[in-house]
Amino acid sequence: MVKKILMICLGNICRSPIAEGVMIETIEQAGASAEWKVDSAAIGGWHVGNSPDHRAMKIMKNHNIDYKNKARQIKKDDFLQFDYIFGMDDENMDDLNRLAPANSKAKLLLLGDFGLEKSERIIEDPYYQRGDAGFEKAYQQCVVACAAFLKDATAGKV
């Protein structure tokens, strides 16, 4: 059965598109594309229908990720359709736990809890930072965390 991953952040224009792109790339490189489906969405509705922030697009392009998805807001049905829903920071996790319906089937997980040092486990919001550095950092955190999650999931640990 295909397992489904949903990457969540506040706006779905910075961190979660990068996390989605990196997870797809990680799965492809592992030759496991037939077994996984990956999407992303926002907690808030401000940027629905928009492409990611130009800095997120630039960082993905630099790393050969061809990203085409548009922002959407999370909905109740996502908690029934997806197996794993990942937040990027503690605020995302609070929101996900608050929004989850009683019959949610999804595991709600902090992406940075996979493979990252304790001090690096929060993928900080780069939207209000100047320049690209916060986006590159988010990308690098996602590379480590996505690989570590896929390893754990493949081993049946999560």
Active site residues: 9, 15, 125
At residue 19, the 3 state secondary structure works out as helix
Query: What does the alpha-carbon distance between residue 1 and residue 12 come to, in Å, rounded to a whole number?
Result: 27
Binding to ligand 4NP, residues 105-144 (CB under 6 A): 125, 127
Q: How far is the CB of 110 from ligand 4NP (least distance, A)?
A: 14
Segment interacting with ligand 4NP (CB under 6 A) among 6-14, 30-38, 110-118, 146-154: 6-14
Q: Which residues pair with 4 in a beta bridge?
A: 37
Query: x/- string (CB under 6 A) for ligand 4NP, residues 26-65?
Result: --------------------x-------------------
Query: x/- string (CB under 6 A) for ligand 4NP, residues 73-112?
Result: ----------------------------------------
Residue from 6, 7, 14, 106 binding ligand 4NP (CB under 6 A) = 14
Question: Which of 47, 53, 35, 40 lies closest to 11, judged by CA?
Answer: 47
Pairing of strands 107-110, 36-42: unpaired
Q: Identify whether the C-beta of residue 22 lies closer than 8 Å to the C-beta of residue 112.
A: no
Query: What does the alpha-carbon distance between residue 117 and residue 157 come to, in Å, rounded to a whole number?
Result: 19
Q: What is the DSSP letter of 120?
A: G
Residue numbers at the binding site for ligand 4NP (CB under 6 A) = 9-15, 46, 125, 127
